[in-house]
Amino acid sequence: MTSKERFDLTINHQQPDQLAVDFGSTPVTGIHVQSVENLRNYYGLENKPVRVIEPYQMLGEVDQELIDVMGIDVVGAWGKNDLFGIYNHEPFIEFTTNWGQNVLVPEGFKTKKEENGGMLVYPEGDISASPSARMAKNGYLFDVIVRQEPIVEENPDVTDNLEGFGLISDSDLEFWKDATRKARATRKAVIARLGATTFGDPALVPAKQLKHPKGILDIAAWQMSSNKRPDQIKAVFDRQAEIAIENYRRLHEAIGKNLDAVFICGHDFGTQDSTFYTKEHFDELWLPFYRRINDWIHSKTNWKTFKYSCGAVEPFMPSFIEAGFDIINPVHLSAQGMNPAKLKYCYGKDLVFWGGGIDMQIALTYSTPEKVREEVLRFCEIFARDGGFVFNTGNNIQAHVPVENIVAMVGAIKEFNEN
């Protein structure tokens, strides 16, 4: 089978010839740039600076050489700008990270060093603006700088939290058309995050790409607003949904069948041990808007819809299904209640598990290669039955994960496929 054929069976809950595999296609299924370099060195690939494909989390590009070596079936189509609003494509320049690695970044990626050794990054790469994120001296990714102005309780303007969600421009439309065409030419399955449907994604609430953002920008304030200001939040979501559907309509006309899955939202609904909200709260505030988007996509396109949420979200699985999601990621195996056998038995006929191949927090990071192999084989045996499973780790592979463990994981996937 081609990767595309394998993916099509998998995503429709049919048994493929072997596991469909993803490393690097999205901002939540990627590999830190340090670990990408370590993998390239281990496999004896060309010694060259790795491109930073997503700078907020410092994810590295998984290029065609690694795609071939690791047996990857899914590629991402990436938009014009990164999460800081910086044009995220050629020309590239070399950049030295805080940990001394030489990488490639777009020429518009501008930073400043702090006296304490930290690094600041700016919206649209404009160093005359206030910085929107900081990497600590000993850090390996950026943290948001909250730029919250006083919240106006009387007559709030919901458009303040819609500044980053406008109708797609003709130039962006052409960019997506070209990006998905090139991705499809690889004969892999293609996924993309097309934007405008965050519905409170904490990664996007602070509006890192805007120079002078307004509205509710602090993540904690936004979370509390779902209880304190529900009508305001619903008004924001309602307008977001309108914008998204119009954008999807135009994008589908341009992209058509060059896309297989669309990343809808990265909002986390779970902690390690519980959920951020009750199921009733989720069903009241989020579910109607998710269903509105999913219903439109399923009625007008052939795309599958991808929902990201870390944490102990097993209680929300029925709501994710009711909302119309096809795919759940990352399958946070070390969180409370996320038992793989139960998840597959209870929800595997309705949801594709994109992730759950190994626990990222403990097993891949801290155990031995043999333990990694054992866990991968065990979880693949559970999740891969009757399709509905795209192999990925429980989240992005971070810096300092032993390269021998990553290689053991890749080897275990190949071993599973051969048996």
pLDDT the model gives residue 387: 97
The answer to whether residue 222 sits within a structural domain is: yes
Give percent of the chain above pLDDT 90: 93
- How many domains in the chain? 1
Q: What is the band of 21 on the pLDDT scale with cuts at 50, 70, 90?
A: very high
Name the pairing type of β-strands 389-391 and 20-21.
parallel
Distance CA 83, CA 86 (A): 7
The answer to whether residue 327 sits within a structural domain is: yes
pLDDT the model gives residue 117: 95
Q: Which domain holds residue 185?
A: 3-45+61-83+149-418
The answer to whether residue 374 sits within a structural domain is: yes
Take residue 237 and report the two structure tokens written for it.
């979501």
What CATH number is associated with residue 396? 3.20.20.210
Q: What is the band of 342 on the pLDDT scale with cuts at 50, 70, 90?
A: very high
Distance CA 120, CA 317 (A): 38
The answer to whether residue 100 sits within a structural domain is: no
Query: pLDDT tens, 121-168?
Result: 999 999 999 999 999 999 999 999 999 988 877 778 899 999 989 999
Res. 419: pLDDT tops 90: no
Q: Lowest mean pLDDT: which of 44-53, 148-157, 238-247, 361-370?
A: 148-157
The answer to whether residue 71 sits within a structural domain is: yes
The answer to whether residue 316 sits within a structural domain is: yes
Query: pLDDT tens, 62-81?
Result: 999 999 999 999 999 999 99
Res. 198: pLDDT tops 90: no
The answer to whether residue 119 sits within a structural domain is: no
The answer to whether residue 143 sits within a structural domain is: no
